[in-house]
Chains A and B, each alone.
Chain A
Amino acid sequence: MDPLKRVEKDLKKCVKCGACRANCPAFSTFQREPAVARGKVALTQHLLAKDIELDDQTYLAMSKCLLCGSCVEKCPNEVPTDEIVIAAREALAEQRGLTTFHKAVGRVIRNRKMMNMGAAMAAILGPLFFRKVPATSGLRLRFPLPFVGGRRHIPQLAKKPFLSRHPEVIQGEPGKPRIIYFVGCMTNFVYTEVGEAALALFRHLGCTVIIPKDQQCCGLPGMSGGDMETVRELAERNLSALEKYEADYVVTACATCGGALHKFYPAVVGKRNPELQQRLQALAEKTIDASVLLQKLGLQPEETGAGEAMKITYHDPCHLRTRAITRQPRELLTAATGVQLVEMEGADKCCGLGGTFNVYHYESSMQINSSKSEAIKRTGADAVVTGCPGCMMQLSDGLKHNGAPTRVLHTLEILARKIRN
């Protein structure tokens, strides 16, 4: 079935009022209508009507979206432009084939063994992380945008991935919740400290923590390139990995993974297959962000804290904000001992990463990021804290560009400090 047909009804909801112009990070940098939600909706309508083609210009317009969901949140008519863009990218990929970069992404994220090898990780995350893309890696973008400048700052890959450090089941106290921890690639390979913090907190609360070894990438890097085949495959493999265990919750500490499990799987992946949809729906209902669960389980403020007096500011990851998770992390952080939370201007604005948007439109991505970095700097905070490893990477890059010494930490890293010491 034509992926565009999937969103045909949604397209009709858009009345072209222009409200998305106020909220779209891509529009804020490109300043042209094809970059804003309304423009992409119009183009998708014209694609369906067959008066434009899935050509370079359409590709370019559709690439200018961070899938941040800001337009969806503020849309008076509730047009799901993120799902529309995903459908258009899927149609583009079907018609034109995946870009070389996204082919590589798909190959790697479908292959956990390969991901465990640093070299393979470098291949996929290369444009995101590394100063240089080896000329032999074959990572050439169809739109030759300056995507890897020598100025990019890169987090280091962990020596040992998080998943290989712990047993699959860590027994907790009887009567306490059983949780499955969905780790996600960024935590597994880069920000392993986030995983350790999550584990420490949930063990502290007596939970039985299950970390299925055969869990996969959530698939969102593939989705952002229209590679829905990969996303579907990963969704199904994740389902089998997670369904093996009885659990009260599936916990994520990565906003993006949480967004995939909670929102995009049922909204985009399962639409054509009722049996699969039912299972994805069940998974979505169990999925919970770590901050929400910690609050629910009554994490005591006096047990948490920075261990030192610390002024922090909080950045809302798009994929928490669009799931209305903005209050919980702030409440937890404010209550933590030693922590002083100061709000930055535009805390709810996208950091500019937008999955692979950052790869194709690096300059624009950093332009979106620069107002974020400025806002963080103005607070005078020692650290910017957030709930998404993807944002953490982008924020670090931006702050270093802006010459700010501000540290970048995950909410859980702050909360777990006292417990881990």
Chain B
Amino acid sequence: MLESRILDQLKTIVGSENVATERQDLLCYGYDATQMEFLPDAVVHPGSVDEISQILNLANAENIHVFPRGAGSGFTGGALPKGGGIVLVVTRLNRILRIDTENLIAEVEPGVVTEQFQMEVEKLGLFYPPDPASLKFSTLGGNVAENAGGPRCVKYGVTRDFVMGLEVVLPTGDIIRTGSETYKGVVGYDLTRLLCGSEGTLGIITKIIFKLLPLPEAKKTMLTIFDSIDGAARAVSTIIGNKIIPTTLEFMDHATLQCVEKRFNLGIPEIGRAVLIIEVDGDRELIETQAARIQELVRPLGLVECKVAKDAAESEALWKVRRLVSPSLRDVNPDKFNEDIVVPRSKVPDVIRRIEKIQQRYDIPIVNFGHAGDGNIHVNVMIDKTVPGMEEKAHQAIGEVFQAALDLNGTMSGEHGVGLAKQPYIHLELKGAQLAAMQAIKKALDPKNILNPGKMFPVKS
């Protein structure tokens, strides 16, 4: 519980209508997409960088934990108020400050919803490619803090690759700017990249300068069905090996296809073992040639069927297969752990095979789909939490899945981050002096450990 003196100060800073302490309000800011829940002591909705600075200044002086939050759509608990404290919601800072068509940059506040930003820049013929699955509701601040990815990253890179500079409130309340508005800039440490993916542990992002690209003229979508997982995997490396980088190379394994087919009857042929949704973008003529070349390249790799969308509506229909994955998975089991390992793209079949073995050993359904183009596989461990012992078994299986990714020179998480969910496994990937260096950075910027404490690094007992 926060002392009433503290609550009064918070109310003075942001106005009493922007401080919530009713139990119902607290409960609604204690969850995110991880399905964990913690009760904060207060929820504040500041409306400016100065207010955020004052809140952190107060929290630092009074040793109160602060948990920054955007849309609360994260998969690892980055925004969850574990242990209680203040949830600081940044969504009132939701303006697009400028879109500079001469320098191809934009400056935005963290509460802007990703898709709204994309629509605004596209009106001007510009392009912001990062496209996390949550883009219709996630915020750009959250995207930067978690370094969000998405299907298009295979060609364009992740959120980090588009962040040029930031305004950040440090845990002490100091406001700093990082990076610059120029593509080049080598003065001092690259704090911008450090803050991308820092999961709200180092500072609260209050402004973002993004790099933009010209909007590609057109895109073309293809849905290819293969008779083996190896065929699909070889298709990925063959396409890229032939110097074509598609915008997306989305992959669904046999288990995924079975789920979707069982529920929605989309008419995917029985012998289909894997699906790739391939999209290319660029000049109209160029993508026609690329699409034709891709079909030629994948045909000998056990291609069962290739559907090419003629227009936007057909493209939408092809993407539907991918979108129906999530609702169909619940037919397997009611609860899921959604992991997002990455391996070098050539190692995708290896890691899938290892996951199949893990699945057999633990007798837990595991469904894989995701961004094959950059080796980022969403590994969905489907369980029923009401079955005794199943959740424990799932955790062990997940540990082995992570180890498999690491053994193949990959990483535990490509998009979702560590937060709370992956903390128990972090020692598999981060060791000794490497971990100590990271913790030293945290300590230097947040000496009292008030900002999003207990995230990313295991808490010392």
Identify the A interface with B (CB < 8 A): 12-13, 15-22, 31-34, 38-39, 42-43, 46, 52, 57-58, 60-61, 76-78
Contact = CB atoms under 8 A, between A and B. Distances in A.
Given A18-B72, A18-B137, A19-B136, A77 B330 contact: yes
Interface string B12-41: 000000001011110111011101000000
Nearest to B87: A33
Contacts of A52: 23-24, 27
B138 A18 contact: yes
Contacts of B27: 42-43, 46, 52
Interface string B353-390: 00000000000000000000000000000000000000
Given A18-B73, A18-B137, A43 B33 contact: no
B83 interface: no
Contact of B134 (A13, A17, A32, A58): A17
A76 B327 contact: yes
Given A34-B28, A52-B24, A52-B27, A76 B326 contact: yes
B216 interface: no
B330 A13 contact: yes
Q: Is the interface of A mostly helix, strand, loop or mixed?
A: helix
B91 interface: yes
Do most interface residues of chain B lie in helix, strand or loop, or is the interface mixed?
loop
B327 A16 contact: no
Contacts of A15: 33, 35
Given A22-B136, A42-B28, A78-B327, A57 B22 contact: yes
B108 to A, nearest CB: 18
A139 B138 CA distance: 41
6 contacts: A34-B25, A42-B27, A43-B27, A52-B24, A57-B22, A58-B24
B456 interface: no
Given A22-B137, A42-B31, A77 B91 contact: no
B214 interface: no
B71 interface: yes
A33 B136 contact: no
A76 B138 CA distance: 15
A39 B28 CA distance: 5
A77 B327 contact: yes
B334 interface: yes
Contacts of B24: 34, 43, 52, 57-58, 60-61
A137 B74 CA distance: 50
A165 to B, nearest CB: 45
Given A34-B24, A52-B23, A19 B137 contact: yes
Given A52-B24, A61-B24, A21 B137 contact: yes
Interface in B191-238: none
Interface string B68-109: 000111000000000000000001100000000000000000
B137 A16 contact: no
A18 to B, nearest CB: 4
B22 to A, nearest CB: 5
A16 B33 contact: yes
Nearest to A31: B91
B450 interface: no
Contacts of A34: 24-25, 28
A329 B115 CA distance: 30
A32 B89 CA distance: 10
Residue among B113, B137, B327, B330 with max Cβ neighbours from chain A (10 Å): B137
Contacts of B23: 52, 57
Contacts of A60: 24
Interface string B26-58: 011101110100000000010000000000000
Contacts of A12: 334
A16 B37 CA distance: 10
B19 to A, nearest CB: 12
B32 to A, nearest CB: 6
A21 B71 contact: yes
Given A22-B137, A57-B22, A77 B28 contact: no
Q: What 9 A-B pairs come out closest when comparing CB atoms? A: A33-B28, A18-B73, A22-B136, A39-B28, A21-B137, A22-B137, A57-B24, A76-B326, A17-B33
Nearest to A59: B24
A17 B73 contact: yes
B28 A18 contact: no
A27 to B, nearest CB: 10
Given A15-B35, A77-B327, A33 B29 contact: yes
A57 B27 CA distance: 12
Interface string B237-264: 0000000000000000000000000000
A61 B22 CA distance: 11
A12 B113 CA distance: 27
Given A31-B91, A33-B28, A57-B23, A18 B71 contact: yes
Nearest to A35: B28
A336 to B, nearest CB: 24
A20 B115 CA distance: 14
A320 to B, nearest CB: 21
B113 to A, nearest CB: 7
Interface string B127-148: 0000000101110000000000
Nearest to B111: A31
Contacts of B92: 31
Contacts of B326: 76-77
A32 B45 CA distance: 9
Contacts of A38: 31
B46 to A, nearest CB: 13
B25 A32 contact: yes
